[in-house]
Amino acid sequence: MNSRKLYKFFAAALALAFVGCNHDDLTNGSSETESNNSKDAVYMNVTVQLPVGTGTRSTTTDDGGSSDGIEVGLDHENKVHSVLLVLADKDNKFIGCAEKSESLVTDANGKVTTVQSISKSVLSGYYGGDEVTLTEDRQKINVFVFCNPINALRGIFANLQAEDKTWYDKICTISETSAGVSDNAAIWGGPDHLGGFLMSSYQISTKKFPANFSDWNDFTTVDKPFKLSDNNPIIGGSSDKGIDNGGAIKVERSVARFDFKDGSGNTQSPNTYDVVKDDKDNLIMQIQLQKMALVNMSKNFYYLRRVSTDGLNTNANLCGIETSVNYVVDTDAAEKNDESIISGNKYSEHFNFCLGYTPENGEWGIDATARNQWFTSKIPDILGGTEDNPDWEGTGTYGNYRIWRYVTENTIPGINKQKNGISTGIVFKGKMIAPEGASGTLADALNNATGNAAEDPILYVYGNEIFVRWTEVRAMALERGPGNPLYTAAFGTPKDGVVPVAGTASVDAVYSNDENSADYKWNAWYNDKDGKNTEKLKEFKEAAVKNAGFTLYESSSDVDNGAGYYCYYFYWNRHNNNNNAGVMGLMEFGVVRNNVYKLAVTNIRKLGHPRVSENDPDPKDPDDPDEEGDVYLSVSVEVLPWVVRVNNIDF
C-alpha cells in the first residue's frame, strides 16, 4: 500500500487549548492582548489520528475491523479543517472544551499541528483552586475529539455547564429528500463533500493532568505545551514526575459509504444478466439493471458510538469497540426491539426514504408514492462517477468500484428483529430485455411494448416458467392435464363434470366454472359482451395472484429508459455475514459508521418483484425478516476505514 496515501489517511496532530466553553477570553500568548496577559496563558497539544480503517460479505474482527480489510480514504474524506476537543472526568462529566480551526500545519508525515492557549483561571475550576493538588484518581481525565464539528454539535457545547453528564448522549438528526436536499449535510462535508467529514473519538482516551495546579507554570510558552497525547518528561521541574500520555487519539467518520460496480461480467451490455431460458436451454430473456435506490436511511445517530451485549442502550459502553459478539447501539434501539415502529407505522419518524407508504385509511404498500420517496440514482451515472481508492486491501472481481453516496448508521438489536421495514436497503430496478436473435411471443412482447398496460400483453410467471397472455397459460395447462400443478392453478376445481377446453375455429372454448379460479375470472373479464371491465380485470388478477400463485408483469414507461417490462430486486445491506443462507446472524444486517460497503450484483437467477404490488403473490412486507430462504440476487459487498465490507449480491 502506498505509504504516502496512508499518511493522508492516518493522522493529524493538533495542539489545542482547553477551555470551559463558557466564553472566557482566551489569548494567543501575545502581550498585546488586553483581556489576558501571557503570564496567565498555558498551552496544550493533542495528536489526532484519522481513521485508518477496520471493518465482504465480511465479518467483524475483535479489534473492531473487518475480515475484508481497510481502504485509505480520499482526500476530501480525510480533510480536517477544525477540531473540537472535549475534556471530561473519569465518569465523563463535562470539564470543558475548545475548538481550533486556524493555523493547522501539516508536515510530511500527514500530521496536522496547532497550538492554542488557555487561561489558568479556566483550569482552576477543575482543580478547585490555585493551591489544590489533585488526587491520583482526579488526575485521570477522559479526552474526546470531534473533527469538523457541525454547527448543531457546537451548539451543544456553547453554554454547557461543568459536570454535565448528558452531553455524550446527544443525537445528530438529518432529514433528506428524495432529491438529495438535506439539513446537516455537513456530516459528510456538505452537498459537494468537500467541507470535511464529521469525525468522532473511536475510543475513550484516558489521559493524565499534572497533580498540582502550579505545575502548569511549566507550560506557559507556545513552544512548550502540555502534551495530551505524548510524553511530558518533566513536570514541576523534576524528571521523576513526568507524565506519559501515550499516543494519538483515534477518530472515526460518523457516516458510512456505499460503493457500487458492475458485477455482471457482461462486456457487450453492461449490468445485463442472463435470466430466462426455454426448455431447449436457449436464452430468451435478460435483465438489465438500470437504477438503484436507497431505502430506510436512519434520521438519527449518536455523535459518539456505543456498543452493548444486546443492542440496547442500557449498560452500553460509550465508544466501546464493536466485536463479533456485541452490537452497535442505535438511537431508536428500544423502538426497534419492541417493534413499535412497525406496529405503529412510524417509519417516517425514524427513516429517510421509507420503503413503503401508507395512504390515509389505507394499508402499507410499495406503490408509485413509495417509490417517489426513495433516493434513486441511474446506475450509468454512478458508474461514471468518482472512483474509490483502488489502493485497498482486497481485490475486486469486475473492475473498480465507484462511490455512490454516504449514509447514516442504522443498527438493529437482536437477531430476529432484523426486518425489511427498519433495515437500510437498496432496491434495484431492472428491465426485461429480449437478447439478440431471440424470437417468439416473449421476444415480441418485450421488443414491442408500448408502456400501455391496458393494451400490451400481461406476462405470467408460474414456478420457473413464463407465459405471454392467459391463452398461453391455458394451452400449457390443458396440455399437461388434470393433476398437474399448473392445471390446478389455472382452472381450480371445476364442478359438475365440466372439463375446460381450448377453443378452435369450429369449437367454442370451455372455461372453468370454479368461480374462484383465475380461468373463470379471466373469461368473465376478457369475453365480457359489454366490453372489458376494469373491475372484472381486477378480480381476475386477484384470483390469478392470490388464489393461484401467478406473478403478473404489466408493461409501463420509465421516464429515462422508455417503455417495457420492469421488475424490482430488494437487497438489505449486510454488515456481518454468517455464511448461512436463510438463517440470520448477529449484526448481519445494518449500517455502521466508518464502513465502506462495496456492492456488486454478481448474478440474477429469476425475475424480480412486479412493479404493481397487487400482481405479486409474495409482496414485500415491513415485518418480513431480512434473511430469506428464497434467494433472488447475488450481491458482492466489500467494506473498508474506511473499514471495508464486500457484498456480492446474488438474486
Query: Do 228 and 262 fall into the same domain?
Result: no
Are 93 and 239 in a shared domain? yes
The pLDDT value given to residue 114? 63
pLDDT band at 129 (very low <50, low <70, confident <90, very high): confident
Q: For residue 487, what pLDDT is reported?
A: 98
Is the residue at 449 inside a domain? no
User: How many other CB atoms are there within 10 angstroms of residue 51's CB atom?
Assistant: 27
Domain extent, residue 641, equals 258-431+569-608+618-650
Q: Does residue 235 sit in the same domain as residue 285?
A: no
**pLDDT grade, residue 35 (50/70/90)?**
very low
The pLDDT tens digits of the residues spanning 62-92 come to: 666 677 777 878 889 988 888 888 989 999 9
Indicate whether 562 belongs to any domain. no
Residue 489 in any domain: the answer is yes
C-alpha cell at 44: 496544550
Boundary residue ending a domain (198, 223, 253)? 253
DSSP line for 17-47: ---BSS-PPP--S-TT-SSS-GGGEEEEEEE
Whether residue 450 is predicted with pLDDT greater than 50 in this model: the reply is yes
User: Does residue 560 lie in a domain region?
Assistant: no
Is 530 part of a structural domain of the chain? yes
Q: Are 30 and 139 found together in one domain?
A: yes
pLDDT in tens, 305-322: 999 999 999 999 999 999
Residue 185 placed within a domain: yes
DSSP one-letter code for 547: I
For residues 132 and 271, membership in a common domain is answered with: no
Closest CA to 169 of 331, 20, 332, 321: 331
> In terms of domains, do 623 and 522 share one?
no
Our count of domains for the chain comes to: 3
- Quote the Cα angle for 355-360-363, to 5°: 55
- At 583 the pLDDT is 86
Span of 147-151, 202-206, 330-334, 628-632 with lowest mean pLDDT? 628-632
Q: Which of 12, 45, 61, 73 is nearest to 253 (CA)?
A: 73
Which range, of 50-64, 143-157, 280-294, 482-496, averages the lowest pLDDT? 50-64
Contact 300, 348 (CB under 8 A): no
Predicted confidence (pLDDT) at residue 5 exceeds the cutoff of 50:
no
Percentage of the chain modeled with pLDDT above 70: 86
Q: Are residues 272 and 304 in the same domain?
A: yes
Grade residue 28 by pLDDT with cuts at 50, 70 and 90: very low
Judged by DSSP in three states, 86 sits in strand
CB 87 within 8 A of CB 125: no
563 domain residue, yes or no: no
46 lies in the same domain as 131:
yes
- Residues whose CB falls within 8 Å of the CB of residue 554, separated by 6 or more in sequence, listed in order: 453, 456, 458, 459, 565, 610, 611, 612, 615
Shared-domain flag, residues 270 and 224: no
What 3 state SS string does 3-19 have?
Answer: HHHHHHHHEEEECCCCC
| In a shared domain, residues 286 and 410 | yes
Q: Which of 142, 147, 163 is nearest to 245 (CA)?
A: 142
| Interatomic CA distance for residues 573 and 190, integer angstroms | 24
Of 528, 553, 578, at which residue does a domain stop?
Answer: 553
Rounded Cα gap, residues 111 and 247, in angstroms: 13
CA angle (221 as vertex; 217, 227 as ends), nearest 5: 75
For residues 433 and 246, the model is more confident at 433
Task: State which H helix or E strand residue 143 sits in.
Answer: strand 140-147
Residues contacting 461, CB < 8 A, separation 6+: 467, 550, 551, 552, 553, 607
- The pLDDT of residue 105 is 60
pLDDT at 276: 95
**Looking at the predicted structure, is the pLDDT value of residue 249 above 90?**
no
Is 207 in a helix, a strand, or coil? strand
Same-domain check for residues 218 and 272:
no
The tens digit of pLDDT for each residue in 215-230 reads 988 888 878 888 888 8
Could you give the angle at which helices 518-526 and 469-480 cross, rounded to 10 degrees? 140
Could you give the CA distance from residue 595 to residue 202 in angstroms, rounded to a whole number?
A: 13
Long-range contacts of range 265-273, CB-CB < 8 Å, 24 or more positions apart? 265/398, 265/602, 269/433, 270/380, 270/383, 271/379, 271/601, 272/433, 273/601, 273/603, 273/604
In a domain, 512, yes or no: yes
Ranking 113-117, 268-272, 275-279, 388-392 by mean pLDDT, the lowest is: 113-117
Interatomic CA distance for residues 426 and 390, integer angstroms: 23
452-456 average pLDDT score: 96
Looking at 219, 253, 287, the residue that finishes a domain is 253
Q: Give burial (CB, 10 Å; 0-12/13-18/19+) of 107.
A: exposed
Same-domain check for residues 202 and 61: yes
Work out the pLDDT band at 417, boundaries 50, 70, 90.
very high
Q: What's the rounded Cα separation, in Å, for the pair 564 and 465?
A: 19
